[in-house]
Every structure is written in C-alpha cells, then in structure tokens.
Amino acid sequence: MPVSERALIARIRARARNGPALVAGIGDDCSVLRMPPGTEALVTTDFSLENVHFRRAWHPPEVVGHRCLARGLSDIAAMGGDPTAFFLSLALPARLPQTWVDRFLTGMLRLARQLRVPLAGGDTAQSPGGILADIVVVGSVPRGRAILRSGARPGDLLYVTGELGAGAAALDLLFRSHRKMSPASLRKLRADYPRHFQPIPRLAVGRFLRAHHLASAMIDLSDGLSTDLSHICQESRVGADVYAAALPRAKTAGRGARAQGTVVDLRFALHGGDDYELLFTAPPNKRIPSQIAGVRVTPIGQVTRRRTVTLITPDGTLSPLRPQGWEHFRNRSTQ
C-alpha cells in the first residue's frame, strides 16, 4: 500500500523516541532543543537522493536509512562534537510501498538508538521523482573547541582512522554488475564490504581527539581521501605529502580459501568516497594512540608549507595527488 503524507508523519512520530535534550519534538512548528551549557551548536545537512547516493536495486531500505543518518553523524564526528538530535526531510513517490518506508525507518532508527540520537522533527512531501531524503543533525561542542578544517600547520602529521576504499570497491562491483546483481551476489558483497552498507560514524574517536586536544584539523572521508585532503589543505592554506605504502587499505572479509581477504586497489583508497572515516592532522609532539575507541589510527603523511599535495610511492616516485573522488564516483553515480 502506498504511503500518504499524513500517514507517513503519524508513522514517523509513533516510532520517534524522546531524549533529555528534546523539549518539544515532532508535532510543533519547530523542535525545541536544550543545548548543554557552555557549548556551541553544530549543524550539518546531507542529501540522500535515489539514483545519486543510492539505488533501490542495490541498497535495501534498511541500508539506505542507516547510511542516510550515518552521513550526518559523521560530520558531527569530524568536528569532535556530540550529536543532540536529528531531523529527517523525506519526499516519497506516490507509488512507493509502505514496507519500503518502514524498513528505511528501521535502519535509520536502529543506528539512532545505538548512538542515542533522537529523531526530533523534519518535513514530508510527495516526491515528483524518486525518493528524496535530507538529513539534518544538530550537535554540540564545548565553546571554541570545534575541530575545524582550517587548523592544519606545516609539520603536522596526517592520520586516518580505520581502513579506506571499501566503499568505492563495493560501488565498483555494483556498477560492473550493470544493475543485474542477483540477491546471492548482493548478499556476498554485503558480507565482503560491510562498511559500504553500514558505515559507523567515528563519533567516539572525534570526541577523544577533541577532549585530549590532539587534532589540529579534521574532516570526514565522504568524497574520498584525495578530495577531502584538498579541502583541509585549502582551508588551512597548506599542502601535504602522502605515503602510498602507509595507507590502510580495506580488505574484503576473509573466509574459506581466502581467509586473509583481498586488499582493495590503491585508487579506491585514494579517491573512493563514502568511507566515513576521519582524516585529521596533529602537531608532531602529540602522541596519537595507534587505536582509539577500538578503531585503528594510522599516520599516512605530513602537512607541508608548499601548497600542493604529493603522493610518494615506495620506490620514491613523487606525483601530484589531485582531488578525483568527486568527479570519478559522484558523476558516475548520477548517470
């Protein structure tokens, strides 16, 4: 049965949970939030559009809901912030089955519960095209302590959390399947690349780096390392050297004869988007743990005064690392 706009609001409202920060939630002109004293407010908005950021044939509704919220929470993590509440603007085509919406909300609200972020409001509409979601996350950070993109200084070291390239490797296989992936192949792909389907925003890592004054600049890897690093360099007016051999490339989940799993291509780790790991810089005198909140942290290069980004391969070859994440994957996914 398709969803009416009014029924949709009722369903969302019935499944939303209150939190201590929520003075008034769904059901008024605005939501009213009590922000912790001594903090500044963080706000981020992220589209998740059908056939741009996801495809119904590739991404089950729970996955779309999960990724939609994870995108926003990852931005809060990248400031060293704490999420306060989130808002969902959702426009649905008239003929969309009710079960799709229910499963979408299930995936989204499961992640919200895990990370204790209440759904506090949003908007609904009938979509003239595909499924359109816009997620807004409001968070907080102690006054003056947000970790910006602009704080990197020459000499700082460059770090990433987790492993890179799984998102792009999974997307590459999906594209090569020409949209005709069988349910069994899709299941295998989900097992191989869980992080593409259910990325975990690195909130605890971001909070740790902020609380211990460790990071000078930070960004989340949503557009790919080469693109997101160029954002830090641009905002901080610096450059960077990146060591190709140092990059923590993602592996497929190992099983049977391939117990070790397969390491993804270097280009996926360099340019692939949707990893939702954190990229940060820290002064060389700060001791950065090799693991924070159970997540691996790897030094991958350093910040330079010279305002270009250079990739250094093990044989000593230097080549310019240009931002390619955006064009390569984004444009491809909008075809």
**What is the binding site for a second copy (CB under 8 A)?**
5-6, 23-24, 27-35, 40-47, 49-53, 74-76, 78-79, 81, 85, 87, 89, 91, 94, 120-123, 125-130, 132, 134, 136-139, 141, 143-144, 146, 148-150, 218-220, 235, 326, 330, 334
Strand duo 309-312 + 239-243: pairing: parallel
Contact 61, 107 (CB under 8 A): yes
Integer angstrom CA distances of residue 301 from 186, 239, 244, 247: 35, 11, 9, 9
Torsions phi, psi for 159 (to 5 deg): -130, 150
Q: What is the DSSP string of 88-140?
A: EEEEE-TT-BHHHHHHHHHHHHHHHHHTT--EEEEEEEE-SSS-EEEEEEEEE
Instruction: With residue 75 as reference, give the H or E element that holds it.
Output: helix 61-77
Chain center to CA of 164: 12
Rounded to whole angstroms, the Cα distance separating 126 from 4 reads 8
> 């499944």: which residue's tokens?
15
Contact 44, 75 (CB under 8 A): yes
